[in-house]
Amino acid sequence: MLLLGAFGMNAQEILTLEDAIKIAFENNYEIKIAANNSKINQTNTAVGNAGMLPSVTTSFVDNNGIQNLSQTRTDGTTTSLDNAKNNSLTYGANLDWTIFDGFTMFAKYDQLKELQKLGEVQLKQTILNKVSDVISIYYDLVQQQQQLNALDTTIVISKQRLTLAQNRYTIGKASKLETLNAQVDLNTDTTTLLRQKELFANTKIALNEQLARDTKLDFKVIPEIKIDDQLELANLTQLAFKQNPELEALVINKRISELQLKQVKGTRYPTVRVNTGYNFGETKSDLGFTTATSSRGLNYGFSASLNLFDGFNQNRTEKVAKLQIENSQIAIEQQNKTLESQLNSAFQTYLTNLELVKLEEKNEAIAQQNLDITLDKFRIGTITTLEFRTAQLNYINAKVRNTNTQFQAKLSEIALKELAGNLGF
C-alpha cells in the first residue's frame, strides 16, 4: 500500500493534445469572453430591439395641496377659505406603436442578425487563435522533451569519457590535461541540460496559463510530432476563401454597412404611429363651482410626420453610408490578396520544412552511427579526445536540428490550417 501511495504521488499527468484543446475550450478566458460577446449579440437580435413592437406604459399621478383660497365671482360676491384641500388623481395605461418608419425597423432587424453572425465569426476567430497557440506550445514541449533526452544521452557519454580519462591517467597512459578537458566538457553539457530543463519548465507554465489552470501543475506530453504531409495549396485556398474568419467578418461588415444605408434612406419616408389608452381621473376641491369630478374612458389616435428639410443632412448621411460600403468592398478585396499571399508564402515554407525533415532525419542517423564508431575507437584509444568531442557535438547538434525542423514543419502546417479556418478540432 505504501508503495502504491508513493507511486501515485510521484506520477505525472499525461496530457494529450486533444485533452489540452478540450481544457482550453472550457477554461480559456479569451474564449469565455468571446462566447459571452456572441451571446450578447444573440440576445440583442430581437424584433423589439429593432422597434417592431409597441410600447405599453402605465402611469399613476396623485397631486395634493392645502391653500388659502379667495374667489370673486362676476356678480361681485367674494368667497374665501383657509386651508382648503385640493386633490387630483389620475392613472391608466397607454400604448404607442410605430407601424411604419420607411422600412427602417426591418433593416435594423436584419442588421441585428448580421451582428449576431459577426459575433459568431469573432468567437470562431478567437477559438482558432487559442487552439493554434495551444497546439504550438504543446509541440514545442514535445521537441524540448526530445532535446532533453538527447542531452541526457550526451551526459552519459561525457561521464563515460571522464571515467576512461581518469582510468588512463591512473595507469599512466594519459595526461592530467585529458582528464581536465573531459571534466570541463561534462560541466558544459550539464549546464546546457540545466538550461534546457529551465526552458522546458517555463514552457509548461505557459501552456498551463493558456489552459487557465494551476501554472504549477506538472504533466507529461506525448513524445511524438505527427506532421500532415498531404496538404494541397488548391484545397487550402478554396477553404480559406470560404471560411477564413477574418474574411468572413469583412463580408458581414459589408452587409451591415448596406443595411445601415437602408436605415438612412428610410428617413425619407413618413413615420406613422398609433396610440391608445384607458385612463381614470378624479379631482376634489374644497372651494369652487365643482367640488368633485371623475372621468374614465378610452382614448386613441394616430400621428404622421415627414421630414421635409433638414439642412441637406439626409443627402450627406447617405453619401457617407455609400462610402462606407465602398470601403468595406475594398477591405474585402485587400483581404483576399493578403490571404492569397499568406497562403502561398506559408505553403512554400511548409514544403521546404518537409524536405528539411527528411534531410535532418538522415543527418541524425549518420551522426548517431558516427558517434557509436567514435566511442568504440575512443575506448581502445585509437582517436584523440578532440575527435571524440567533435563527434559528440555533431550528434547533439544533429538531434537538436532534427527535432527543431520537425517542430517548424508542424508550425507551418498549423499556420496553413489556421489560414484555411480549420485546424481539425
pLDDT tens track for 342-359: 999 999 999 999 999 999
Whether 77 has a pLDDT exceeding 80, the answer reads: no
What mean pLDDT comes out for the span 75-95? 82
Asked if 148 and 196 touch (Cβ cutoff 8 Å), the reply is yes
Query: What's the rounded Cα separation, in Å, for the pair 42 and 120?
Result: 9
Asked if 250 and 314 touch (Cβ cutoff 8 Å), the reply is no
Which cell numbers in the block locate residue 234? 488548391
pTM of the entire predicted model: 0.85
Q: Rounded mean pLDDT of the chain? A: 90
Pick the more confident residue, 398 or 165.
Answer: 398
Residue 292's pLDDT is 76
Query: What's the rounded Cα separation, in Å, for the pair 214 and 14?
Result: 16
Whether 197 has a pLDDT exceeding 90, the answer reads: yes
Whether 9 has a pLDDT exceeding 50, the answer reads: no
Cβ neighbours for 217, distance < 8 A, ≥ 6 positions apart: 13, 208
* Confidence at 425, pLDDT banded by 50, 70, 90: low
Query: What's the rounded Cα separation, in Å, for the pair 366 and 415?
Result: 31
Residue 290's pLDDT is 66
CA angle, corner 345, sides to 252 and 126, nearest 5?
A: 40
Residue 424 vs residues 207, 247, 296: alpha-carbon distances, Å = 20, 19, 68
Whether 1 has a pLDDT exceeding 60, the answer reads: no
Asked if 181 and 385 touch (Cβ cutoff 8 Å), the reply is yes
